A = this chain, B = another copy of it.
Amino acid sequence: MLLVFNIRNFIFLTLAQNKLTILGCGSALPTKQHFPSSQLLEMRGKQYLIDCGEGTQIRMRQMQLRTLRLGHIFISHLHGDHCFGTIGLITSFAMLNRTADLHIHAPAPFEQLMKPLIDFHCHEMPFKVIFHHFDTKTYSLIHSDHSVDVYSLPLNHKVPCAGFLFVEKPKDRHLLPDMLAFYKIPVSQFLKIKQGSDFTSEDGKIIENQLLTKPPAPPVRFAYCADTAYQKKLVELVQGVDLLYHEATFADQDKSRATLTCHSTAGQAATIALQANVKQLIIGHYSARYNSKSELLAQAQAVFANTILGEDMKIYEF
């Protein structure tokens, strides 16, 4: 019984949990409900910050989030509501004596804008800030680590702007606890077995891996698309993702304003979700003109039923 408990415990501890925490999903002007754009994505035990609008560090403190596993910030474009929180976050990390490198992936001018601020405000920095530029016009692999690959998604906005596609690295196989107990497999062998090895007992008997495990779920994928006008070519790039965050700055009746400002309507966001056959859509980046979001939700759900509203300080598991 203890063995089984341990096995279940081990499985629980090693199971990947994917979590999106919306820190802010307002647009250019903050409102009573919404801070500017920022999201903390957790995939396979690592944290990634996507956009860093003003107040990002405040939301983190309000939610009492621990960000020890945050190594990378991805900035979609250089409008203030997507990047003005970066310098505050960096100086606070310095005050808290962070030592791990911090990688910032952003369009090229960001480094030039940030460097004088960092030099002035952060003396004796206890960690390195490393800038990586990416091309907002191409679909490219811009980051890869043990947990995910991250691709840029070219968007259509007033300034160079990209979305991001996070693709989980292939997973280990799932252990079958009852079979592990039945064959009395020692815990020390679990990792190898998860990675596909057969087990050889002390008396030389081989237990094939497929008796002890089942295949892993396909890699989880998350796509972040803000800010952008509706563009059909996005559909193939986010095809079938588990979770799509797509901006819905405007209601459908304000479509001409959306077109003019290179933003999307709720219906357009949902059309991308429908055409790309995604599993779930979260809308956000709401214009400050809408007090209630129920109309935006209704308009999106009329096109793609599995739509939910993005809300500040809400956690979405997927």
Chain A residues in the interface with B (C-beta under 8 A): 28-32, 35, 54-55, 57-58, 61-62, 64, 78-80, 84-85, 87-88, 91-92, 95-96, 109, 113, 116-117, 120-121, 288
Contacts and interface: CB of A to CB of B under 8 A. Distances in A.
Contacts of A29: 61, 92, 95-96
B116 A30 contact: no
A176 B57 CA distance: 54
Contacts of A84: 54, 84, 87-88, 91
A120 B35 CA distance: 22
Contacts of A88: 54, 80, 84
Contacts of A32: 61-62, 64
A113 B109 contact: no
B30 A80 contact: no
A30 B54 contact: no
Given A54-B85, A79-B121, A113-B120, 4 more contacts: A30-B61, A61-B288, A84-B87, A84-B91
Which 4 A-B residue pairs are closest in the complex by CB-CB distance?
A: A54-B88, A30-B58, A55-B55, A80-B91
Contacts of A31: 61
A224 to B, nearest CB: 22
Contact of A117 (B28, B58, B113, B288): B113
Given A84-B87, A120-B113, A35 B54 contact: no
A87 B64 CA distance: 26
A94 to B, nearest CB: 10
Most-contacted residue by chain B among A30, A54, A78, A109 (CB, 10 A): A54
A30 B55 CA distance: 9
A129 B84 CA distance: 19
Contacts of A116: 113, 116
A120 B61 contact: no
A187 B55 CA distance: 50
A64 B31 CA distance: 9
A30 B61 CA distance: 7
Contacts of A92: 28-29
Contacts of A91: 80, 84
A193 B87 CA distance: 54
A106 to B, nearest CB: 13
Contact of A121 (B55, B80, B87): B80
Contacts of A96: 29
A82 to B, nearest CB: 11
A92 to B, nearest CB: 6
A13 B58 CA distance: 39
A58 B61 contact: no
Given A92-B29, A109-B120, A113-B117, A58 B35 contact: yes
Nearest to A110: B120
Contacts of A117: 113
A57 B78 contact: no
17 contacts: A28-B92, A29-B61, A29-B92, A30-B57, A31-B61, A32-B61, A32-B64, A54-B57, A54-B85, A55-B55, A58-B58, A61-B288, A78-B120, A79-B121, A84-B88, A84-B91, A116-B116
